[in-house]
Structure 1
Amino acid sequence: MNTVTALSRYIKEQLADTHQQGEVDQFILRIFDHLRSFTRLDLIMKRNERLSEEEVNYIREAVLRLKNHEPVQYVLGHTEFMGIELVVNEKVLIPRPETEELVAWILDDHLNDNFSLLDIGTGSGCIPITIKKRRPGAQIEAWDICPDALDVACCNARRNEADIRFEVRDIFNFRKYNISTKDIIVSNPPYVTVKEIPLMQPNVLKYEPEVALFVEDDKPLKYYEAIGEMAIDFLKPGGCLYFEINEAYSREVCALLENYGFVQVERRKDINGRWRMVRAYRP
């Protein structure tokens, strides 16, 4: 039978060998939320409702993709970030909770919205869109080297009615661009070293874009070097630079920024107690 209960059982049976039970329960909730806006309570109260043939086919296709370890966010085509729904696909990284913490730090530091901000390596646009929604008066620009990623970011900005200027830009050639000074520069750049690949989950390695994840083992700070060099010139006096970082290089990032001339360089732990964020000021 094509009831909610029967399809939920089908999902559990099909994914039992590839995923943990708790993870499968989350898949079921997310799939039915996507199809019918169900809550966890709805899965119980509406368990005998019948699904259409189209919905059944959608679930079967989703299960096949999940069995191949494709991230559920890509399967559904969207994810949530700080209460905002974002389109995601294999052209962009799936936003992580630690990036929410970075955005929260920026928002806590800037309670008014009379500031300008540049996000470098914007991907899905999660950082600038969230800040624009919370601080609508801010003037926000976002860069990415990948046009396909910017297509996703632009789509998300339109869906969330966020007025953001997006540009295809290469941070390693920033001097060739006409750049206006900013109050805030933020970046969550690639920072996973090649030697850390064996520690990564298979769904990340197989599906998420390598260009947004990895750096060479012998150049783990190359993005921080380029952005730091750019930011010391194009932040306004007193302006803030924010980074998400690899916890293994938190001290090195701080030392790098101090060498560039930044002051009040501070690193911060995420909710799991790992050094994952840095803030610095241009004097």
Structure 2
Amino acid sequence: MQLGVLKALFTDKLTKLYRLSEAENIFYMVLYYLEKKSKTAVLLGQETMLGDTYVTLLQSLMDGKPVQYVLNEAPFYGLDLFVDETVLIPRPETEQLVHWILEDHPNFQGSVVDIGTGSGCIPLVLKKHWPYAQVSGCDISTEALKVAQRNSKEQNLDVIFFQKNILTEELEPYDIIVSNPPYIAHSEKDDMHENVLEYEPHIALFVDDTDPLLFYKTIILLAHQQKSTCYFETSEYYRPELDNWLKEHNFSFVWQPDFQDKDRLLKVTFD
């Protein structure tokens, strides 16, 4: 079967769920995953012997299942990581957060922990770039930790992963604390894309409506005791409330916009 025919089939079916550009990108992700080929192969009219495999994957994609879960693979800052429905799919905004940390701390050799590590994407990239640092990641989910440990082994990166409920348990001191914790209020579920709600782990997404900043406040107060530098990913809608809370506590902080110019990346430091 010609790859061009498969591409047309994918875009025809998937544009019922996605924009055309997204549908095309999904096809090219599948193409690279199955055959390590780029869009050039389509332009050259190349054929494939894996037509049935493409069609099988397309069936799952048509159900709305994210392509990263269908392939059990997600690219993140130069690493191809295993993912399943027990962990969030790594996002480009999180890559930007990691880039900020690496720029701030070149050749870092201290200690760092990622709270709510999920797939382990953040600490694994940090370890790759900081081979002499003590890099750790923790999560409340045992299933997520299995994914993170698998990625650590497959990437041959020595990261320490451990279980922790940051809201109820103590944390040993670290020089840097990173976190992309749950911050979406349950009341906002109706505004979310259906495939996120159906497939991504709710424990990593949602926080109680009564205090959606609970994780940020808890982690920042822990970090203040330890004089750790904190980096967070959050929602741009929480900036006013976070600004006021941080100012009330006389903490130093800096916001950095994400790729869409939204204030979603936050650094907090202590004198």
Q: Spell out the pairing of 1:72-221 with structure 2 (5 A cutoff).
A: 72-175=67-170, 179-221=171-213
1:259 to partner: Cα distance:
4.3
The separation in 2 between residues aligned to 1:50 and 1:210, in whole angstroms, is 38
The question of whether the paired residues in 1 share the 8 Å contact of 2:116 and 2:139 is answered with yes
Structure 1 residues without counterparts, runs of 5 or longer: none
Residue 91 of structure 1: SS of its match in structure 2? coil
Residue 204 of structure 1: SS of its match in structure 2? helix
Q: Which residue of 2 aligns with 1:7?
A: 6
Task: Figure out how many residues of one structure are paired with residues of the other and give that number.
Answer: 271
The separation in 2 between residues aligned to 1:164 and 1:38, in whole angstroms, is 31
The question of whether the paired residues in 1 share the 8 Å contact of 2:114 and 2:138 is answered with yes
Q: Could you tell me which of 257, 268, 271 is aligned with 1:280? A: 268
1:133 to partner: Cα distance:
0.6
Q: Could you tell me which amino acid in structure 2 is paired with residue 44 of structure 1? A: L
Change (3 A) 1:50 1:86: closer
Q: Which residue of 1 aligns with 2:236?
A: 247
The separation in 2 between residues aligned to 1:84 and 1:109, in whole angstroms, is 21
Per-residue CA deviation, residues 210-247 of structure 1 (Å, 9 max, x unaligned), is 11011122211111122122222234xxx311111111
1:260 to partner: Cα distance:
4.6
Q: Which moved more, 1:248-257 or 1:116-125?
A: 248-257
The separation in 1 between residues aligned to 2:246 and 2:144, in whole angstroms, is 28
Q: Could you tell me which amino acid in structure 1 is paired with residue 182 of structure 2? A: P
Residue 98 of structure 1: SS of its match in structure 2? helix
- TM-score computed with the length of structure 1 as normaliser: 0.90
The separation in 1 between residues aligned to 2:152 and 2:20, in whole angstroms, is 35
Q: Could you tell me which of 196, 218, 223 is aligned with 2:215? A: 223
The separation in 1 between residues aligned to 2:224 and 2:243, in whole angstroms, is 14
1:65 to partner: Cα distance:
1.1
1:261 to partner: Cα distance:
5.3
Structure 2 residues without counterparts, runs of 5 or longer: none
The separation in 2 between residues aligned to 1:139 and 1:259, in whole angstroms, is 33
Change (3 A) 1:260 1:40: same
Per-residue CA deviation, residues 92-148 of structure 1 (Å, 9 max, x unaligned), is 001111111111111111012211101100001111011111111111111100010
Per-residue CA deviation, residues 62-104 of structure 1 (Å, 9 max, x unaligned), is 1111111111111111111111111111000011111111111
The question of whether the paired residues in 2 share the 8 Å contact of 1:99 and 1:244 is answered with yes
The separation in 2 between residues aligned to 1:280 and 1:13, in whole angstroms, is 47
The separation in 1 between residues aligned to 2:156 and 2:245, in whole angstroms, is 37
Change (3 A) 1:62 1:138: same
Residue 219 of structure 2: SS of its match in structure 1? helix
- TM-score computed with the length of structure 2 as normaliser: 0.94
The question of whether the paired residues in 1 share the 8 Å contact of 2:181 and 2:215 is answered with yes
1:20 to partner: Cα distance:
2.4
